[in-house]
Amino acid sequence: MNEASNIFFKEHRGGGSKVGHPPLILIHGAGGTHLHWPPELRRLRGEDVFVLDLPGHGRSSGDGEWAIEGYAKHVCDWMDANNLDHAVVVGHSMGGAIGIKMGLNSAERLKGLILVGTGGRLRVHPTILCLTASPEGLLPAVDHIITVSFGSQVSSRMTELAHAQMAETRPAVLHGDFLACDQFDVLPLLGEIATPTLVICGEEDQLTPLKYSRFLVDVIPNARLETIPSVGHMVMLEQPVAVAEAVKAFMNEIFG
């Protein structure tokens, strides 16, 4: 971990990384950690990959943020501290909102943007905000979130692991994440994103439905959509190979 940025990261240097391919930075969603990215993406063949734990999450110290702008600043500070001038940001859900904010405010840092299960506005159900506001509500909140996070064909083992992992998040951090999401709304600004963009969405996503991704593709000038059938919001965990292949194809298409 680099103390200047308060972010823990795992790094994979692809031995066969192509000349001209910028590194990938994977950013998890609300209440997540770097483990929300499966090995197929954390160790994507032929690419340099950095996988972050945002402040207050996983192995990172400090507190979380209550606004997407705060997390975006942490990522930019981390890039500075690790001498990364630019990268392709891959963000899931809240991580996608962070990527969008960077695409609007720090476009010079992005060579590409991959948005997974996210939207230009991320309203959160009041029940989740109410439950996460107190330590006593943490487990009921996690129960609800996990129930709607996966597709109809997910294994019980995967949902059990996801539940146990999210339940380790400090209540104040989880609440702050969902407040940050609830306040995020950049719909009128999406047309200003000039970065090449890939949007990935699970066909059965209940938290950020497919219509959110279609809107992103309709409004962001240089964007295309990859829909993954029979999976939900945690698309990269349910279908890791399909998501990894989509990311790899995007990198080859944009950077050769």
In a domain, 232, yes or no: yes
Instruction: For residue 3, tell me if it sits in a domain.
Output: no
Q: Which domain holds residue 165?
A: 8-255
| Any domain includes 153 | yes
Residue 94 domain-assigned (yes or no): yes
Q: Which pLDDT tens digits describe the chain residue by residue (256 residues)? A: 444 457 999 999 875 455 679 999 999 999 999 999 999 999 999 999 999 999 999 999 999 999 999 999 999 999 999 999 999 999 999 999 999 999 999 999 999 999 999 999 999 999 999 999 999 999 999 999 999 999 999 999 999 999 999 999 999 999 999 999 999 999 999 999 999 999 999 999 999 999 999 999 999 999 999 999 999 999 999 999 999 999 999 999 999 9
What is d(CA 107, CA 102) in angstroms, rounded to the nearest whole number?
Answer: 6
Q: Which residues contact 253 (CB under 8 A, 6 or more apart)?
A: none
Tell me which residue of 212, 239, 215, 73 sits closest to 154, measured CA to CA.
239
Query: In sequence order, which residues have a C-beta less than 8 Å from that of residue 236 and are 6 or more positions away?
Result: 36, 37, 38, 41, 92, 116, 200, 243
In the chain, how many domains are there? 1
Q: pLDDT for 89-146, tens place per residue? A: 999 999 999 999 999 999 999 999 999 999 999 999 999 999 999 999 999 999 999 9
Tally of CA atoms within 13 A in the half-sphere of 7 that contains its CB: 29
2, part of any domain:
no
Strand 8-12 versus strand 49-53 pairing type = antiparallel
Residue pair 252/53 in contact (Cβ under 8 Å)? The answer is no
Confirm whether 103 is domain-assigned.
Answer: yes
Is 1 a member of any domain? Answer: no
CATH code of 135's domain: 3.40.50.1820
pTM assigned to the model: 0.96
* In a domain? residue 64: yes
- Both tokens assigned to 187: 């719909």
